Chain A
Amino acid sequence: EDISSSSNGPKAEPMLLDHDPDDLFAEATEEVSLDSPERQMILSDGPSPAITPVTINPRADVFDRSPDQDEDEEENRDTFDIQISVSDPEKVGDGMNAYMAYKVTTKTSLSIFSRDEVCVKRRFSDFLGLHSKLASKYMHIGYIVPPAPEKSIVGQRLGRRSSAVTELDPDAKACLCCRYLLRTVKQPALLKDPDVLQFLESSELPRAVSTQALSGAGILRMVNKAADAVNKMTIKMNESDAWFEEKQQQFENLDVQLRKLHASVESLVFHRKELSVNTASFAKSAAMLGNSEDHTALSRALSQLAEVEEKIDQLHQDQACADFYLISELLGDYVRLITAVKGVFDQRMKTWAKCQDAQVMLQRKREAEAKLQHANKPDKLQQAKDEIREWEGKVQQGERDFEQISKNIRREVGRFEKDRVKDFRVVIIKYLESLVHTQQQLIKYWEAFLPEAKAIA
């Protein structure tokens, strides 16, 4: 796949994950059961794949991803094999109706797919549409649905109060969409979901409706509004389980920290790009100086200096890519994930509230029945008894729902926390690899330049 270059923003690698060393699927190191009734929830995949051809490590065994020992109890020994890539952003249509279409390629040996390899074209709003469907189906039972990709990054520059909205370039968007799909298919329940299968396989997809409302930011706002509404409803939840309270607090803190970190890294990326520009500018001025110099050897050395600086500029650009795609995007993804996590906690509170409401209703019905006992209205009494049974059923259902969602959340959070550590570790290693590579290149350049400098007679 070609690397489509963009004029601004880091160059993105096409999202073919064969050579992503952290791609679980390529290696089949993680064993996941598709059929387990326990519904193994595996959250968040590895971080962004390779950043540039230079730092890519095509060996899949760059570090050991041995299966966790304490995976959930029932495991079938199925190998989970699926690779997804999102590439080739292409402008479709003209004028007002123009949009960007992406090629989504799925390679898999799983039987739920009709073919080994499928290639479809999707536009950005399709991704948003998929997310909204999944969110509406699964969030309320406690599954952390991966957040939708966002068109723009809302970032906060250090020291500034207002947030700057930067539109992502097509390659970065492709990267984002790919990570989104990977996280989604990692959850067996979501993978089996007909909407997901349709998204990956069918050549035609019905247009997602009112995508403005469905945009990631939109969902975020909705979730936040829901959260606020829940809080304002003064649900004084009798938290019988301290675990939930602690976790919620932890996620609040984590949210704040991650946002700060994200802003910090954005500043880093910005200055790195600035350095690249200045280095290129200096290289040019050195070249001009070399051209004007009469002394042959000195002129030659100055020209070589200019070349070295140009190469260093390229290294800066590559490093900026690494900064962005490895660290910045990782943090961005996690900021968005935390929102989804918080959403799920709020769903639990809603479920509890519903359960409470049912109990209140049941109480009322019982009181009503008690009153009717003394009046002489047999058919009303029967109705009251019926209603009591109905509401007893609802209360039981509500309690089951609440137990289920609590259980799901506990497991989800456990996975999330494990994956979080894994993801960050992978990023650190990749980042260090890019740093080592850069230094080794620099050594080469300086060693080549030294004899030139010494040759000046």
Chain B
Amino acid sequence: MEVSSAEAALSVSASSIRITDVTQDGDVLTFALTSQKLDSSAGVCVFRIYEDFDWLQQSLFSQENLPGLQGIIFPPLPSKALPSQSNTQTKALKQLGFLALGQDWQSYCKALEFYLQQVAAHPTLCKCKALDSFLFNSESPGKQRGRKGIFNRLSQAVEEMRKESHKDVDNFFQNERNKNTNLAALSKVATEKLLDVVMTEQKLALACGHFSTSLHLCVNQDDASAVAFSKVCLKLSDVIEAVKRNLEKVASNNLSTLGLGLDLESRYQEAEKEMLFRRTCKLIELETVKKGTEKAKANKREVLEAFQKAVEKEFNLISSVAKQEIERFHSSHVNVLKNFLIGWCEVQLNTAKEFAELYSQHLEACRNMYSE
């Protein structure tokens, strides 16, 4: 995410936010977090657990006196990771997708890092005091279970579905809702498919490992011909071992770049979906109120009209914030994907070069050996 210096209201430099370490104690992951205030050169390091992140998110949701808050596309927070042994890999994959893979929670930490950077880079959200406390207080701020936000996750209830498809009064928003529904679904599928690819790459690497080990066991020193054959088997074993490392690297590259990128994209589309849904709900509320006002008896009418005006004002505020958010989202999502695609391509290119070199060396060595 690009942070322009024009956003001087920030007290923290978004790009300086890093999760530098993670430790696991039973079921609890503790993250070491460093960041830098704009007006200082010193970094601040704090320790946080998932509940602290959740507290931050809830605090952002429940800010008061922020007009059109519901029109904001909130940076998506990854689900809580449950690292206990009883959690099988399939469960973890279902819950976290790509973020469950990789060594030592690297991807998960990266995702949390992105989350914080995006909050800090958001023109409105960065001003939230909760962010400051979260980043700079040595005490973990999550102790106080805050008020529950005014938002619920989109539930799958039938009623919600009906609301979701409610016709819009504004073409711009109707289009955006349609596109977003489409993109959200497609990016989710693409993420899942890439996950399948990575899992298979890992399985293939494992199979190579088994084969390589079996070849290693064929060593036999009984006589001259057995020795010659053993040498050949060992050579093949080495080659297969290289193939295994190759696959592991390719899988890890996919995971740490494109996988992470698609995962983020997919969750961000969902975040936009949630925002649009909130606006739609407000729209429904407004239309309901309007109908009520029309039907009202004369004595109630004035009150209801005032109420209607208030709702309308809220709705319009939400819509205007939403419009800005949508535009911001469109340009930033292109940038984010661009960076991930470049990163992915570069890292895979390097791996391909590395292993082309390695295999060539093996080939050269074999040709020399066997022509004797």
Name the residue among B196, B203, B233, B341 with the largest chain A CB count within 10 angstroms: B341
The answer to whether A261 and B214 have CB atoms under 8 Å apart is yes
Q: Which residues of chain B from 188 to 229 have any CB-CB distance to chain A below 8 Å in the complex? A: 189-190, 193-194, 196-197, 200-201, 203-204, 207-208, 210-211, 214-215, 217-218, 220, 222, 225-226, 228-229
The answer to whether B190 and A421 have CB atoms under 8 Å apart is no
Q: Which residues of chain A from 431 to 456 have any CB-CB distance to chain B below 8 Å in the complex? A: 431-433, 435-436, 439-440, 442-443, 446-447, 449-450, 453-454, 456
Q: Does B363 contact A (CB under 8 A)?
A: yes
Which among B211, B337, B362 is the interface contact of A268 at CB below 8 angstroms?
Answer: B211
Q: Which residues of chain A from 255 to 272 have any CB-CB distance to chain B below 8 Å in the complex? A: 257, 260-261, 264-265, 267-268, 270-272
Q: Which residues of chain A from 283 to 298 have any CB-CB distance to chain B below 8 Å in the complex? A: 284-286, 288-289, 292-295, 297-298
- Given the known A-B contacts A274-B200, A275-B197, are A285 and B186 also in contact in the complex, defined by CB atoms under 8 Å? yes
Chain A nearest Cβ from B330, distance in angstroms = 7
- Given the known A-B contacts A250-B222, A450-B345, A453-B345, are A275 and B204 also in contact in the complex, defined by CB atoms under 8 Å? yes
Residues of B within 8 A of A257 (CB): 214, 217-218
Q: How many A-B contacts at CB < 8 Å in the complex?
A: 168
Q: Does A64 contact B (CB under 8 A)?
A: yes
Interface flags for A292-313 (1: CB within 8 Å of B; 0: not) read 1111011001000100000000
Q: Does B147 contact A (CB under 8 A)?
A: no
Residues of B within 8 A of A3 (CB): none
Interface flags for B144-158 (1: CB within 8 Å of A; 0: not) read 000000000000000
Which among A246, A264, A297, A420 is the interface contact of B211 at CB below 8 angstroms?
Answer: A264
- Given the known A-B contacts A447-B349, A449-B345, A450-B349, are A298 and B186 also in contact in the complex, defined by CB atoms under 8 Å? no
A456 nearest CB neighbor, chain B only: B338
In whole angstroms, how far apart are the Cα atoms of A427 and B366 in the complex? 11
A439 nearest CB neighbor, chain B only: B356
Which among A260, A279, A421, A457 is the interface contact of B229 at CB below 8 angstroms?
Answer: A421
Q: Does A75 contact B (CB under 8 A)?
A: no
Q: Which residues of chain A from 111 to 129 have any CB-CB distance to chain B below 8 Å in the complex? A: none
- Given the known A-B contacts A257-B218, A439-B356, are A292 and B342 also in contact in the complex, defined by CB atoms under 8 Å? no
Residues of A within 8 A of B236 (CB): 424, 427-428, 431
The answer to whether A268 and B225 have CB atoms under 8 Å apart is no
Residues of A within 8 A of B186 (CB): 285, 288-289, 292
The answer to whether A250 and B334 have CB atoms under 8 Å apart is no
Residues of A within 8 A of B232 (CB): 421, 424-425, 428
Chain A nearest Cβ from B245, distance in angstroms = 12
A270 nearest CB neighbor, chain B only: B207
The answer to whether A282 and B207 have CB atoms under 8 Å apart is no
B183 nearest CB neighbor, chain A only: A292
Q: Does B297 contact A (CB under 8 A)?
A: no
Chain A nearest Cβ from B187, distance in angstroms = 6
Q: Does B360 contact A (CB under 8 A)?
A: yes
The answer to whether A429 and B356 have CB atoms under 8 Å apart is no
Q: Does B94 contact A (CB under 8 A)?
A: no
A interface, size bucket: 35 or more
Main secondary structure of the interface of A (DSSP, over half): helix
The answer to whether B338 and A298 have CB atoms under 8 Å apart is yes
Interface flags for A71-82 (1: CB within 8 Å of B; 0: not) read 000000000000
Residues of B within 8 A of A457 (CB): 334
Residues of B within 8 A of A440 (CB): 356
The answer to whether B208 and A268 have CB atoms under 8 Å apart is yes
Residues of B within 8 A of A417 (CB): 225-226, 228-229
The answer to whether A429 and B182 have CB atoms under 8 Å apart is no
B198 nearest CB neighbor, chain A only: A278
Q: Does B348 contact A (CB under 8 A)?
A: yes
Name the residue among A66, A246, A279, A432 with the largest chain B CB count within 10 angstroms: A432
- Given the known A-B contacts A305-B341, A446-B349, A447-B349, are A432 and B229 also in contact in the complex, defined by CB atoms under 8 Å? no
Q: Does B93 contact A (CB under 8 A)?
A: no
The answer to whether B356 and A275 have CB atoms under 8 Å apart is no
A283 nearest CB neighbor, chain B only: B193
- Given the known A-B contacts A63-B371, A275-B200, A454-B342, are A264 and B214 also in contact in the complex, defined by CB atoms under 8 Å? yes
In whole angstroms, how far apart are the Cα atoms of A292 and B363 in the complex? 45
A62 nearest CB neighbor, chain B only: B367
Q: Does B235 contact A (CB under 8 A)?
A: yes
- Given the known A-B contacts A432-B363, A435-B359, are A279 and B348 also in contact in the complex, defined by CB atoms under 8 Å? no
Q: Does B370 contact A (CB under 8 A)?
A: yes
Chain B nearest Cβ from A63, distance in angstroms = 6
In whole angstroms, how far apart are the Cα atoms of A295 and B356 in the complex? 35
- Given the known A-B contacts A246-B222, A298-B337, are A279 and B197 also in contact in the complex, defined by CB atoms under 8 Å? yes
Interface flags for B332-372 (1: CB within 8 Å of A; 0: not) read 00100110011011101100110110011011001100110
In whole angstroms, how far apart are the Cα atoms of A271 and B204 in the complex? 5
Q: Which residues of chain A from 309 to 341 have any CB-CB distance to chain B below 8 Å in the complex? A: none
- Given the known A-B contacts A264-B207, A453-B345, are A433 and B352 also in contact in the complex, defined by CB atoms under 8 Å? no
The answer to whether B187 and A289 have CB atoms under 8 Å apart is yes
In whole angstroms, how far apart are the Cα atoms of A281 and B192 in the complex? 10
Chain B nearest Cβ from A56, distance in angstroms = 16
Q: Which residues of chain A from 203 to 244 have any CB-CB distance to chain B below 8 Å in the complex? A: none
The answer to whether A289 and B190 have CB atoms under 8 Å apart is yes
B205 nearest CB neighbor, chain A only: A271
A-B contact pairs, 15 of them (CB 8 A): A63-B370, A158-B210, A261-B214, A264-B211, A271-B204, A278-B197, A292-B183, A298-B334, A417-B225, A420-B229, A428-B235, A436-B360, A442-B356, A443-B352, A457-B334
Question: Which 5 residue pairs across A and B have the least CB separation, nearest first?
Answer: A439-B356, A417-B225, A446-B349, A282-B193, A456-B338
Q: A278-B197, A439-B359 are in contact. List 8 more A-B contacts (CB 8 A).
A: A250-B222, A274-B204, A414-B225, A435-B243, A436-B356, A439-B355, A443-B352, A456-B334
